[in-house]
Amino acid sequence: MSPSPESPADRSHNCADADVLIVGAGPAGLALAAALHDAGLAVQVFEQQPLDALTEPAEDGREIALTHRAREVMRRLGLWQHLPADAVAPLRQARVTDGSGSQALRFGEGAAGPLGWLVANHRIRQAALQAVRDRPGVQLHTGARVSGLDLPAGQPGALASLTLADGRRLQAPLVVAADSRLSATRRLAGIGAAMRDFGRSVVVGRVAHAADHQGIAWECFRYGNTLALLPMNGGLSSAVVTVPGDRAAEWLALSDAAFAERVGVQSGDRLGALRSVGPRHHYPLVGVYAQRFVAPRFALIGDAAVGMHPVTAHGYNFGLYGVEVLARVLQAARRSHRDIGAVDVLQDYARAHRRITLPVYLGTNAIVTLFTDEHRPAKLARRAVLALAERAPGLSGLIKSAITRQLMGAAAQASKA
Ligand SMILES: Cc1cc2nc3c(=O)[nH]c(=O)nc-3n(C[C@H](O)[C@H](O)[C@H](O)COP(=O)(O)OP(=O)(O)OC[C@H]3O[C@@H](n4cnc5c(N)ncnc54)[C@H](O)[C@@H]3O)c2cc1C
């Protein structure tokens, strides 16, 4: 059999260091490296943190709710198999209450299986690293901060190049930025982002409790602050308190006993006596949506593309959906000898990712606005929304099935590129 003819793009890429250079070895960058390797592409990943920070990532208080589709992507990439069984907590039901907590919207009641699963972020990071290490072809450079990016403009065949802080320079047909919601590489590419600073912060801490949480997550939109209780294994829940930014320090400074007591009171003591376990962590809440996901020889993935408010638990799920689509698009381009960095190739990913993420990003921001506004009209409106949703079976069913489909990843699946 004669070898397939080399395209002009193939020829110009012979001097490249890899097919794809990825900036950032967070959970999105590592998952993408594994997916692109499996798609037959040569990948190098650059991470500013030292190797120790990746092999033994510190517990950071984030319990990541994963959808069915996200679990499927993790399974295919071999990440899921690296999670110890006791690190995965099933999310069986979710309930949303407002103000006094007298009304609750319920999700997942009567469902055959869990709505999703909760896994600590540091465990996901560890599993993603192991999945990359299972693929010796992927080159991971740690302690390697990317400080420069050069995207060729209007020069057909010219490669993109990255510069590292130590002066090294690398070239490839495609650079992907996975360097967090405040992505410096996105800025170097000249891509702006819509940012929404909610003026609020999340304080997270684990609590041990006497009563069984039964796998139920609670989201209590209280007046003054929001409290979520996320079910974990071992008689624990993660308490996620959202407060105005100027009150975060007060919540962080509480003694363990005072924190447990406040969480207990605010949750209506539904989990019995509480005990605070381990450190508390703090995250300012900023939503970010990139103005474009791609440019010639460049793409954004993970939080660098879409940084979600955590209330609807979609950030990493979206990262994984993006990984799946981008890998599929690049594999198809490579098989048909198209240039993997060409913007018309990358647009297929951009369009699909925007279709999945934009409605949820905007919807999440609208929910946050309605449920954290302390003015009387907003309080009345949200009480009405919950009451209507619970009492009007048709509307309730629509809302619930839309949210449940999001959790199961069904809506996202349906609109695959
Ligand atoms: C409180 C909280 C709760 C959350 N809950 C959920 C949830 O329930 N479900 C869900 O799906 N998502 C959730 N998320 C979101 C989720 O944590 C993020 O979407 C996910 O961690 C983002 O991964 P990433 O790889 O894109 O970015 P990051 O994890 O931020 O990784 C970026 C990496 O890039 C590296 N880097 C940065 N700049 C450079 C550079 N110049 N050179 C080299 N390396 C660089 C960084 O060191 C880092 O390792 C939550 C987030 C928070 C804060």
Q: What is the CATH number of domain 8-91+115-196+287-374?
A: 3.50.50.60
Range 143-147 contact pairs with CB under 8 angstroms and sequence separation of 24 or more: 143/47, 143/48, 143/49, 143/50, 143/51, 144/46, 144/47, 144/48, 144/168, 145/46, 145/48, 146/23, 146/46, 146/48, 146/179, 146/184, 146/185
The closest-lying atom of ligand 1 relative to the alpha carbon of residue 46 is: 43
Which of 316, 356, 408 to mutate to test ligand 1, by most ligand atoms within 8 A of the CB atom? 316
**Contact between residue 64 and residue 316 where contact means Cβ atoms under 8 Å apart:** yes
Distance of CA 412 to the CA centre of its chain: 14
Any atom of ligand 1 within 6 Å of the Cβ of 188: no
| Residue linked to tokens 């999340």 | 202
Which phi and psi (to 5°) does residue 180 adopt? 85, 170
Q: What sign does the dihedral 275-107-391-243 (CA atoms) show?
A: positive
How many angstroms does the Cα of residue 185 sit away from the middle of ligand 1? 15
Percentages of the chain per state (helix, strand, coil), in multiples of 5: 40, 25, 30
Point out which residues pair with 118 in neighbouring strands.
65, 89
Report d(CA 229, CA 241) in Å as an integer: 9
Which phi and psi (to 5°) does residue 285 adopt? -100, 110
Any atom of ligand 1 within 6 Å of the Cβ of 46: yes
* Helices assigned H by DSSP within 109-247: 121-133, 184-188
Report d(CA 292, CA 295) in Å as an integer: 8
How many angstroms does the Cα of residue 62 sit away from the middle of ligand 1? 10
Report d(CA 41, CA 335) in Å as an integer: 11
Report d(CA 35, CA 39) in Å as an integer: 6
> What's the pLDDT at 375?
62
* Helices assigned H by DSSP within 231-297: 248-253, 256-266
Tokens of 201: 């912060």
**Closest Cα to residue 29, out of 279, 320, 267?**
320
CA distances from 386 to 111, 115, 402 (A): 21, 20, 15
| Residue linked to tokens 């919950």 | 386
> What's the pLDDT at 103?
62
Tokens of 352: 């699909």
Residue 74 CB-half CA count within 13 A: 28
How many angstroms does the Cα of residue 398 sit away from the middle of ligand 1? 31
CB-count exposure of residue 385 (10 Å: 0-12, 13-18, 19+)? middle
Any atom of ligand 1 within 6 Å of the Cβ of 205: no
Q: Tens-digit pLDDT profile for the chain (417 aa)? A: 344 444 545 545 668 999 999 999 999 999 999 999 999 999 999 999 999 999 999 999 999 999 999 999 999 999 999 999 999 999 999 888 876 556 677 877 777 889 999 999 999 999 999 999 999 999 999 999 999 999 997 777 899 999 999 999 999 999 999 999 999 999 999 999 999 999 999 999 999 998 999 999 988 876 667 888 999 999 999 999 999 999 999 999 999 999 999 999 888 888 999 999 999 999 999 999 999 999 999 999 999 999 998 888 889 999 999 999 999 999 999 999 999 999 999 999 999 999 999 999 998 888 777 766 666 666 666 566 666 555 555 555 555 555 555 545 443 343 333
> What's the pLDDT at 219?
83
Range 102-105 contact pairs with CB under 8 angstroms and sequence separation of 24 or more: 103/383, 103/386, 103/387, 103/390, 104/386, 104/390, 105/386, 105/389, 105/390, 105/396, 105/399, 105/400
CA-CA-CA-CA dihedral for 54, 57, 62, 65, to nearest 10: 60
Any atom of ligand 1 within 6 Å of the Cβ of 142: no
How many angstroms does the Cα of residue 181 sit away from the middle of ligand 1? 7
Tokens of 332: 């198809």
> What's the pLDDT at 411?
39
> What's the pLDDT at 412?
38
